[in-house]
Amino acid sequence: MTRNTTRSNDAALAAFIAKKAEIDAMLARLQGFSDDHSGIDTERLNWSDLGSLEYQAHLLKQISDFAFGEREHAA
């Protein structure tokens, strides 16, 4: 491996680790949000709240499918 390749790989690894930390922070924040019933007062829950939750589930499903190579992301 050349010095430039090693330097490039080191930079890619550092960027990867930084991006992973960003994702981990988002996942932790989302878990807290979910644990708090998505910020919804369950005594005042309505159909709009369900619609919002369905949309969030849809977006997370897209991410999950991409991550695990499922549905339209299957090889």
* Res 4 pLDDT > 80: no
pLDDT tens digits along 10-62: 999 999 999 999 999 999 999 999 999 998 999 999 999 999 999 999 999 99
0.75 surpassed by pTM: yes
What is the rounded CA–CA span in Å between residue 32 and residue 25?
Answer: 11
Q: Please, what's the b/e burial string for 63-74 (b: 16 or more CB within 10 A of its CB; e: otherwise)?
A: eeeeeeeeeeee
- What is the pLDDT at residue 62? 96
Confidence of residue 1 (pLDDT cuts 50, 70, 90): low
* Res 3 pLDDT > 80: no
Q: Are 48 and 57 in contact (CB under 8 A)?
A: no
3-state secondary structure of 56: helix
